[in-house]
Structure 1
Amino acid sequence: MKTYGSEPGAPTSVQVGISELAVSDGDDTLKSYGLGSCLAIALYDPDGEIGGLAHAMLPDGDTATNSDRKPGKYADTAIRALLRRMVERGASYTSVEAKIAGGSDMFEFDSFGDGVGKRNADAAREELEKLGVPLVAEDVGGTHGRTVEFTPGTGTLLVKTSDEDENGVTEL
């Protein structure tokens, strides 16, 4: 049976939804849509051309109950799960680099202190530092949504913003 639009060996596009993560290699494109306070975490090994993308919703999974242990849901556990899966596919832990995007504070709730978006970005930075993974680029904060497209083979993270003043694409 012939499948149109996806030739053998052609790059594929994988959607990474909220609380999900995916690992791939080469020219595949990993995409996350509608990042508000959620954080996209892209890890890649430039030598092995292996990378992964997570769409983390909350900052700290270490305090989650056992019934709520989906690793992609939390910034800290998503980073550890991505690293583990990448190394299992042949990535070199010491070569891995990180990029993050999202973490907007789209709504203000004075009673909560720092917004979830800022806490997500802070948790990711802290976990990356703890694991010795350099954060080489970021596009975080603000009050606008984002969509990201990540190509593990090149480490390119395209960030599309949905801000009235800043409708555009940034390459990290």
Structure 2
Amino acid sequence: MKTYGTEPGIPSPARVGISEITVSEGDDTLTSYGLGSCLAIALYDPETEIGGLAHAMLPDGDAAENSDRKPGKYANTAIRALLRRMVENGASYTSVEAKIAGGSDMFEFDSFGDGVGQRNVVAAKDELERLGVPLVAEDVGGETGRTVEFTPGTGALVVRSANESGETRKYD
């Protein structure tokens, strides 16, 4: 497995945990478990087969003190960091596409307005639009958790629901 810019402590095959980012290529599989309100952001370049996966916990890191040390923690800074690492390793910025999954609102807190999950989705979509990266698939919202598997070489994103049905969806 050839991974680039892997956060310390990520085993092989690559598990992408909360606030982590991993860039890889080809038939490698990048996996994130336990997405509730967190958002999995998969970026890939179909021409070079370089892609990456982030497991973002919060929507906006621009004002956060540690966003430069832990860019994967926030949806918007995770997208920037993934894109930068991919391009540094040979991806073409103009070919990159995005897929997102997660962003559930599993708990209701009336006093907070939109839940963290929904805010993560909005932040990611806004950042992708700002950077000109097309969002080609999404599996977001609802009230159940998810697990995702992403293959950079094909761009395939497999999403498994954590509900009773255990439904699996694949986005090629």
Answer whether TM exceeds 0.5 for this pair. yes
Q: CA deviation at 1:66?
A: 4.1
CA deviation vs aligned residue, 1:105-147 (integer Å, no higher than 9, x gap):
0000000000000000000000000000000000000000000
Any runs of at least 4 consecutive aligned residues in structure 1 with deviations exceeding 3 A, and if so which? 66-69
CA–CA distance in structure 2, aligned partners of residues 67 and 89 of structure 1: 22
- RMSD between aligned alpha carbons? 1.4
Q: Could you tell me the percent identity over the aligned residues?
A: 78
CA contact (8 A) 1:61 1:69 kept: no
Q: CA deviation at 1:162?
A: 1.0
Alignment of 1:22-171 (within 5 A): 22-66=22-66, 69-164=69-164, 166-171=165-170
Q: CA deviation at 1:67?
A: 7.5
CA–CA distance in structure 2, aligned partners of residues 137 and 23 of structure 1: 19
Q: CA deviation at 1:69?
A: 4.1
Q: CA deviation at 1:68?
A: 7.3
Structure with max Cα Rg: 1
Gap regions ≥5 residues in structure 1: 1-5, 7-11
2:125 partner amino acid: R
User: What is the SS of the residue equivalent to 2:41?
Assistant: strand
CA contact (8 A) 2:67 2:74 kept: no
Gap regions ≥5 residues in structure 2: 2-11
TM-score by length of 2: 0.91
CA contact (8 A) 1:100 1:139 kept: yes
CA–CA distance in structure 1, aligned partners of residues 143 and 45 of structure 2: 31
CA contact (8 A) 1:60 1:77 kept: yes
TM-score by length of 1: 0.91
1:131 partner amino acid: L
Q: CA deviation at 1:72?
A: 0.2
Partner of 1:9: none
Change (3 A) 1:67 1:140: closer
